[in-house]
Amino acid sequence: MTEAIIIDGKTFSSNLRNKIAEDVKSLKKEQGIVPGLAVVLVGENPASQIYVRKKEEMTKAVGMHSVSHHVKADISQQALLDLIDTLNRDPVIHGILVQLPLPKHIDTPTILAAIDPAKDVDGFHIINAGLLAIGKPALVPCTPAGCMMLLKDTLGNLQGKSALVIGRSTIVGRPMAQLLLAADCTVTIAHRYTSNLEALCRQADIVVAAVGIPHFVKGTWIKPGAVIIDVGINRIPAQDPEAKAAGKTKIVGDVDFEEAAKVASAITPVPGGVGPMTIACLLNNTIQAARALSDSTAPS
């Protein structure tokens, strides 16, 4: 029997996008600014194409200006840097997102470092990562920003909670840990060399799983009443024998949802939990960047 509250990221994301649409209207009316997001897609990666299309649709849906640059996989690094430079200088663009992964001949850190930190709506620039690490306002990576919104909505004040983040990637685990620390949690970061993971998990009031292994976190690892945020998106063969034989797949998280939901007080489902928050947080970062850029260029 499922007892935990199911954290509804889909509804939360939809409400957030409605609020962003209102904010976009006000910004236009009061300051004549339409936030603009430029997305750069290199090559034909099918998953990236789907993500980029979704981002474009949602950007337009909230009334923002959306620009897409789909460039060939064999673009030179210099040509890509030139495109970013043009976008950095473009006054109608407030956010720049380069869809990852990039082709092998392009050095991803060099490209990310070329984006104006004030327009870095993915929050991957070293300046934004550094600001976050020292507890200063920054453009924060979208997925952990979305996890924090769901956690604050579920728990209210996070102060004094013991939080375990499983995973230390620069896009999820590390910034997630920094955000939890900024919210006065006591934070543990686990990775593949962590030896006592189950025991650490049993002590945690909050578990954020960003591992990329289906059903990695078991129900027996969960402290009764803990809040579980499952970031994982893993495709596995469908359970139903007929669907499996037909080659069908399903998406599951990094947490064994059925087991964990019997012990936790609240848990995000996969799909429908963290996933829908990411693009909403991208739009949130874009409006934040537009406001900050307009403040910085306003006559004093």
Strands (E), 99-191: 162-166, 186-190
Site residues for ligand NAP, 165-194, by CB under 6 A, read 166-169, 171-173, 190-194
3-state DSSP percent of the chain in helix, strand and coil, to 5: 45, 15, 40
Please state the closest distance from residue 232 (CB atom) to ligand NAP, in A.
Answer: 4
Stretch that binds ligand NAP, among 109-117, 160-168, 176-184, 283-291 (CB under 6 A): 160-168
Query: Is 167 known to sit in a ligand binding site?
Result: yes
- Cα separation, 62 vs 271, whole angstroms: 23
Q: Please return the burial class of 240, using the count of CB atoms within 10 Å of its CB with bins 0-12, 13-18 and 19+.
A: exposed
Active site residues: 55, 99, 122
Using CB under 6 A as the binding rule, whether residue 262 contacts ligand NAP is answered as no
Task: Report the C-alpha gap between 268 and 261 in whole angstroms.
Answer: 9
**Cα 25 from Cα 76, distance rounded (Å):** 39
Please say whether the beta carbons of 227 and 158 come within 8 A. no
Interaction mask 64-103, ligand NAP, x per CB under 6 A: ----------------------------------------
The kind and range of the H/E element at 71 are strand 65-71
Pick between residue 193 and residue 295 the one whose CB is nearest to ligand NAP.
193
For ligand NAP, the closer of residues 32 and 193 by Cβ is 193
Q: Which of residues 281-300 bind ligand NAP (CB under 6 A)?
A: none
CB-nearer residue toward ligand NAP: 221 or 223: 221
Quote the least distance from Cβ 106 to ligand NAP, whole Å: 18
State yes or no: residue 54 binds ligand NAP (CB under 6 A).
no
Q: Are 41 and 69 in contact (CB under 8 A)?
A: yes
Residue 174 CA to residue 170 CA, distance in Å, equals 5
What is the 8-class DSSP label of residue 32?
A: -
Report which residue type is found at 172: V
The answer to whether the CB of 173 falls within 8 A of the CB of 188 is no
Q: Which of 276, 282, 259, 143 lies closest to 212, judged by CA?
A: 143
Contact status: 268 vs ligand NAP (CB under 6 A): no
At closest approach, how far in Å is the CB of 215 from ligand NAP? 12
- The helix or strand, by DSSP H or E, that contains position 130, with its residue range, turns out to be helix 126-133
Q: Of 77, 88, 186, 234, which one interacts with ligand NAP (CB under 6 A)?
A: 234
Residues present in the chain in total: 300
Q: Which of 150, 274, 283, 289 binds ligand NAP (CB under 6 A)?
A: 274
Nearest-approach distance from CB 28 to ligand NAP, in angstroms: 29
197 vs 238 by CB, closer to ligand NAP: 197
Cβ nearer to ligand NAP, comparing 123 with 275: 275
Place of tokens 């139903």: 240
Tell me the binding residues: 167-169, 233
Tell me the binding residues for NADP(+): 167-169, 233
Contacts with ligand NAP, residue ranges (CB under 6 A): 143, 166-169, 171-173, 190-194, 197, 210-213, 231-234, 274-275, 278
